[in-house]
């Protein structure tokens, strides 16, 4: 076993090694660039919150927020909801954006929560002439300036509570002026780089039956078990599964599933490794949405290709290794403390999925459990895995 070097100064590494292992921060957009810009500046994100009290009743069964003006003109928007509903209550969420006064999108269906009556047939992602709401990710071909949400009562009992919403808006091709305006200075990082000892959970139920494409539920189960609250996968899947879209990896549902089991959680975007290290240092578990297209110019990945996967991030070492817990490789045990080169993981996460992370917060008093040792980086010249995961 090789001792992990959990020291802070990356500048002490040889420049060539730092370039090979870490690479530059990803600056590639998660959504198509809007046609009204020609810059190549890094994407800029801004977080906003919609409180439950901002929903006002607009009909017998509907509550709508006022228009929320974003300080950042955006071509992408992601969201999550925070609520615990009483039994038999449910809502459907709708989203609308405005490009200019009097010029807005139609209302776009943004998902449901609770015990809602299901509509027949598989739903399709809402599209209009300037964008698409791809399950949980609004992608626009032109920048919008405002947004609003509506919740529609959809349960057997009248809706008595409204959700709070976390919203992240993104300008994927900002001007240099916008990039400077929204630049964020990270606080001083701690002296060490902790690597969390997150356990490996298989994609199977408590009877050992395999449950394919449930990587998001297994990653959430691993995070919960790390914090001392183990749950059978079937008690998580019932919340994360979206039967309307026949999807198992929708981000707001995964976070809401964590809240149903007593955890605080939120959606975030990670564009650089300092942000990752800062979050892990707070004893938070990041569930990373990754995608590994074939022929991506990787250095030494554990997969040749992977349609989509969600893994729990243990941490990042000082010498540029990203350690994750990956249920897609649980059968062989390889998914336990799986190592990536940072330059490869940056591509499959920050570049291919825009650095989207579902952050699971520690409950009060939860101890940080870290690894003291880690094997050397594996030799993958002759052996790689072709993944079959398809969840988001």
Q: How far apart are CA 370 and CA 327, in angstroms?
A: 19
pLDDT at 16: 26
Question: How many domains, in total, are found in the chain?
Answer: 2
In a domain, 21, yes or no: yes
Q: What is the pLDDT of residue 119?
A: 76
Whether 38 is covered by a domain: the verdict is: no
- How many CB atoms lie under 10 A from the CB of residue 157? 14
Is the residue at 391 inside a domain? no
Residue with tokens 């198992």: 248
- What integer pLDDT is reported at residue 122 of this predicted model? 77
Instruction: Give the per-residue pLDDT at 379.
Output: 87
Domain boundary residue, one of 118, 137, 171: 171
Are 121 and 242 contained in the same domain? no
For residues 195 and 79, state if they share a domain: no
Q: Which of 171, 206, 241 is the last residue of a domain?
A: 171
Are 73 and 148 in a shared domain?
Answer: yes
- Shared domain for 211 and 307, answered yes or no, is yes
CATH number at residue 297: 3.90.70.10
DSSP SS3 for 345: helix
Instruction: Please indicate, yes or no, whether residues 7 and 152 belong to a single structural domain of this protein.
Output: no
User: Would residue 178 count as lying in a domain?
Assistant: no
pLDDT of res. 33: 33
| pTM (2 d.p.) | 0.86
Q: Are residues 143 and 20 in the same domain?
A: no
Six token digits for residue 363: 């409950």
Q: What is the pLDDT of residues 221-269, one digit of tens each?
A: 999 999 999 999 999 999 999 999 888 889 999 999 999 999 999 999 9
Q: For 307, phi and psi rounded to 5 degrees?
A: -65, -30
- Which has the closest alpha carbon to 258: 226, 291, 211? 226
CA 276/CA 270 separation, integer angstroms: 7
Domain containing 134 equals: 44-171
Within a domain: residue 156? yes
Answer yes or no: is 221 within a domain: yes
Query: Please, which residues have CB within 8 angstroms of residue 351's CB and are 6 or more apart in sequence?
Result: 26, 28
Residues 154 and 250 in one domain: no
pLDDT of residue 32: 31
- pLDDT at site 40: 57
Domain co-membership, 23 together with 65 = no
- Are 275 and 377 part of one and the same domain? yes
Same-domain pairing of 143 and 230: no
Residue 97 is part of a domain; what is its CATH number? Answer: 2.60.120
Per-residue pLDDT of the chain (392 residues; tens, 9 = 90+): 433 433 232 222 222 232 223 232 322 223 333 333 334 578 999 999 999 999 999 999 999 999 999 999 999 999 999 999 999 999 999 999 999 999 999 999 999 999 998 877 778 899 999 999 998 999 999 999 999 999 999 999 999 999 999 999 999 999 999 999 998 777 676 667 899 999 999 999 999 999 989 999 999 999 999 999 999 999 999 999 999 988 888 999 999 999 999 999 999 999 999 999 999 999 999 999 999 999 999 999 999 898 889 999 999 998 999 999 999 999 888 999 999 999 999 999 999 999 999 999 999 999 999 998 999 999 887 555 444 443 44
For the chain, how many residues are written?
Answer: 392
Note whether 201 and 155 are same-domain residues: no
Q: Check if the beta carbon of residue 316 is closer than 8 Å to that of residue 305.
A: no
Examine the domain organization and report whether 119 and 238 are in the same domain. no
pLDDT in tens, 321-369: 999 999 999 988 899 999 999 999 999 999 999 999 999 999 999 999 9
DSSP 8: S
The domain boundary residue, chosen from 143, 171, 199: 171
Residue 177, domain member (yes or no)? no
Sign for the CA dihedral angle at 288, 325, 24, 372 comes to positive
61 lies in some domain: yes
- Of the CA atoms within 13 Å of residue 140, those in its CB half-sphere come to 26
Contacts of 380 (CB under 8 A, 6+ apart): 300, 301, 302
């Amino acid at each position: 076993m090789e001792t992990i070097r959990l020291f802070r100064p990356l500048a002490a590494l040889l420049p060539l090694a730092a370039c090979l292992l870490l690479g530059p921060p990803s600056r590639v957009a998660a959504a198509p660039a809007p046609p009204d810009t020609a810059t190549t500046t890094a994407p800029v994100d801004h977080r906003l919150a919609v409180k439950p009290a901002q929903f006002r009743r607009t009909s017998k069964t509907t509550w709508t927020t006022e228009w929320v003006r974003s300080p950042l003109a955006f071509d992408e928007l992601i969201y999550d909801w925070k609520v615990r509903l009483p039994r038999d209550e449910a809502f459907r969420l709708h989203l609308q954006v405005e490009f200019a006064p009097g010029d807005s999108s139609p209302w776009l269906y943004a998902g449901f929560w609770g015990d809602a009556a299901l509509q027949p047939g598989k739903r399709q992602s809402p599209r209009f002439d300037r964008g698409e709401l791809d399950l949980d990710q609004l992608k626009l071909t032109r920048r919008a300036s405002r947004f609003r949400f509506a919740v529609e009562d959809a349960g057997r009992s009248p809706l008595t509570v409204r959700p709070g919403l976390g919203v992240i808006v993104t300008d994927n091709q900002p001007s240099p002026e916008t990039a400077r305006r929204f630049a964020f200075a990270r606080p001083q990082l701690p002296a060490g780089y902790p690597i969390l000892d997150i356990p490996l959970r298989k994609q199977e139920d408590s009877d050992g039956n395999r449950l394919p494409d449930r990587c998001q539920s297994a990653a959430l189960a691993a995070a919960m078990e790390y914090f001392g609250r183990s749950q059978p996968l079937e008690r998580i899947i019932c919340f994360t599964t979206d039967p309307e879209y026949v999807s198992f990896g929708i981000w707001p549902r995964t976070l809401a599933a964590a809240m149903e089991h007593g955890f605080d959680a939120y959606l975030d975007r990670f564009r650089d490794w300092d942000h990752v290290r800062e979050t892990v240092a707070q004893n938070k578990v990041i569930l990373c949405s990754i995608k590994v297209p074939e022929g991506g110019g990787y250095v030494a990945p554990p997969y040749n290709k992977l349609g989509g996967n969600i893994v729990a991030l243990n941490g990042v070492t000082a010498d540029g290794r990203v350690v994750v817990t990956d249920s897609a490789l649980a059968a062989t045990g390889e998914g336990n403390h799986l190592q990536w080169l940072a330059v490869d993981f940056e591509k499959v996460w920050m570049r291919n999925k825009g650095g989207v992370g579902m952050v699971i917060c520690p409950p009060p008093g939860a101890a940080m459990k870290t690894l003291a040792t880690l094997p050397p980086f594996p030799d993958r010249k002759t052996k790689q895995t072709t993944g079959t995961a398809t969840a988001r």
